[in-house]
A and B are shown apart, each in its own frame.
Chain A
């Protein structure tokens, strides 16, 4: 059962542009929605996260928008930089388990 669906699979953005990655979830029992950033050869690193009682969370250039009724959430990267080029995973958390999306490979062109 694919509990978290992520799109797009890959994304190319020009430097300075906005990167948007979308996720949809099925399990309404999820109570925490993190985004992880993964560089090649490294483990995922927590980037930003949100609880379902909040509609938006912003940390620097990274913003999560959360729509509980639609069971969707998205990551917005403002002023995208080449250093942001990585794979991004969304996830839902419930009962000490994370369910990850399939990942989005972001390439920010200089």
Chain B
């Protein structure tokens, strides 16, 4: 069964450093998303991406964040200058409105980001 994959599983970085979180969505999916989950808290929407551009973003997704689909398979989230409060689990998700409802998003296993 196809699945969303994410690398690395755990990233440790120093405050102020740039990090890039990588995701490989399910092939042929058209919509891509990033969410974050601070330990013990709810999952929060960050951004959705379709047709090589951001379609929606939340208040959390400020200028420190950017997303990119550098090739036909990867989808990345970049945090330019990490803060302590960026420490969280980051989930990538994808959906395919042509096969499933656009609502049915498939989540990856997540990348745990720890900012020291």
B18: interface (CB < 8 Å): no
Instruction: Check B103–A45 contact: CB distance below 8 A.
Output: no
Contact of B109 among A43, A89, A100 (CB under 8 A): A43
55-110 of chain A: CB within 8 A of chain B: 89, 93, 95-103
B28-74 at interface with A (beta carbon < 8 Å): 31, 35, 41-45, 48, 50, 55-56, 58
Where the two chains meet, the residues of A that have a C-beta atom closer than 8 Å to any C-beta of B are 6, 32, 34, 36, 41-46, 49, 89, 93, 95-103
Q: List 29 A-B contacts (CB under 8 A).
A: A6-B42, A32-B101, A34-B103, A41-B110, A42-B109, A42-B110, A43-B4, A43-B108, A44-B107, A46-B104, A46-B105, A46-B106, A49-B103, A89-B42, A89-B43, A93-B103, A95-B56, A96-B50, A96-B56, A96-B102, A97-B48, A97-B58, A98-B45, A99-B45, A100-B42, A100-B43, A100-B44, A102-B42, A103-B42
Which residues of B pack against A, CB within 8 Å?
Answer: 4, 31, 35, 41-45, 48, 50, 55-56, 58, 91, 93, 101-110
